[in-house]
Amino acid sequence: MTTTSEKVSQQLTRQVSKRVSQSVFDGSPLRVVLLVDVYDGAQQQFLEAYEQLCNQVAKVPGHVSDQLCQSIENPSQWLITSEWESAPPFLAWVNSEEHVQMVQPMHSCIRDTRSLRFHVVREMGRGLAKVDPAQRKLQVSPRIGDGVIRHALTFTVKPGSEPEVAKILANYDSPETHVDETTRLVRTSLFLIGNRVVRAIEVRGDLLQALRHVARQPEVRAVEEAINPYLEQERDLSCDESARVFFTRAALPAVHHVSVDERHEGERHALYIPARPGCGMRLAEALARLDEDAAEDPATPVLRSTVFQRDDVVVRLVDVRPGAGVEAALPEPGALAPLKSLLDGDAARMKLITDRRSPDA
């Protein structure tokens, strides 16, 4: 049986491109760290829920191992670490409906969680220091980022409600961009295609803190309440469990980001690239490779490109040189031909609803 990681990462890890600051397609092992704050008195309930979850996760393709640790200073603090063959199989699982159902028994005993995900770059101990990095598909060199974390949310609205939803999303007041001393909002871009909404977010600092900050802002709460009647999937953001499930299902992670050396501002566009059922991750990787190769061309009109993917939803967010126009954001004629077996239609431009930048971004 071919696992997800084998399908996506069939080659040994390549030399890391200096133009790529973020990618889940390195083929390196993935270490996931989950910090958990358990309600006082619920430690045994949490332990039992974890053991049940652990037995289920062990059967997920790409999963290697996991550990559960309890703080020696505060019994309410726990640490779960897991290793995966690579990032793609983990993302396929954590963004699945199966995952939503698996973790539900733990929610009643958890006050707060924080998830961190890392590619393994170097390792030693128990003979690992003598292992050829190529055999473990470790990154050859570290990635150099720009200090910006990219994430997106996506959801669908009832067909026919698109004009009203677009009006609501275009006319809200911007929230406070300063979160704390180390975190601030950089940019928020909203797009619409058919009845699907995509909200792309850029943050400097702590993404989770920024998302929580935004959710508390009265301007944003008013917008969320206004679009509730139009959502295909009902939610109640005043209920922690309902909000948790909605945002888990709405998450559209950035799986690859590439940029040229220039820091110029560009014109922002987004493309919706439909994947055939079960082909979303492989399509996202193929698009990432195309973007990476194109970034090496000094004549490219593309300044930055980010690929977002969840299940079979694939979105490419593109900043092009001023004046280049939307055509510059579209794939070159024939560029997607080799990906025909992964596509469920043509790439389509999404309608830009609003694009807002922090004044001090």
Q: Of 1-10, 147-156, 232-241, where does mean pLDDT reach its minimum?
A: 1-10
Confidence bin at 342 (pLDDT 50/70/90) = very high
Of 4-13, 69-78, 239-248, 297-306, the least confident = 4-13
The larger pLDDT score, comparing residue 356 to residue 243, is at 356
**What's residue 88's pLDDT?**
95
Q: Phi and psi at residue 151, in whole multiples of 5°?
A: -150, 160
**Position 132 confidence tier, pLDDT thresholds 50, 70, 90:** low
pLDDT value of residue 12 = 38
Q: Give the range with max mean pLDDT: 68-72, 236-240, 328-332.
A: 68-72
Mean pLDDT score across all residues of the chain: 87
pLDDT of residue 204: 93
Helices 87-94 and 280-295: crossing angle, nearest 10°? 130
Q: What is the pLDDT of residue 134?
A: 55
pLDDT band of 16, cuts 50, 70, 90: low
Does the pLDDT at position 102 exceed 50?
yes
Mean pLDDT computed over 295-316: 91
pLDDT above 70: residue 128: no
pLDDT given for residue 39 in this prediction: 94
Q: Which residues on neighbouring strands pair with residue 198, listed in sequence order? A: 154, 191
Residue among 248, 281, 236, 239 nearest 98 (CA): 248
What would the mean pLDDT of 336-350 be, rounded to a whole number? 91
Of 19-23, 124-128, 135-139, the range with the lowest mean pLDDT is: 124-128
This prediction's pTM: 0.89
Six-digit token string for 343: 């596509």
Tokens of 269: 């566009």
Asked if the model's pLDDT at residue 324 lies above 70, the reply is yes
- Please state, in angstroms and rounded to a whole number, the distance separating the CA atoms of residues 359 and 350: 25
Whether 8 has a pLDDT exceeding 60, the answer reads no
Are 272 and 280 spatial neighbours (Cβ–Cβ below 8 Å)? no
Tokens linked to 198: 């995509």
- Evaluate if residue 178 carries a pLDDT over 60: yes
With CA atoms as reference, report the closest residue to 353 among 158, 148, 156, 164: 164
| Residue 223 CB partners (closer than 8 Å, separation 6+) | 168, 169, 172
Contact 113/35 with Cβ under 8 angstroms? Answer: yes
Q: Could you report the per-residue pLDDT of 218-271, keeping only the tens digit for each?
A: 888 899 899 999 999 888 877 777 777 888 889 999 999 999 866 677 899 999
pLDDT band at residue 201 under the 50/70/90 scheme:
very high
pLDDT band at 127 (very low <50, low <70, confident <90, very high): low
Q: What percentage of the chain has pLDDT greater than the value 70?
A: 91
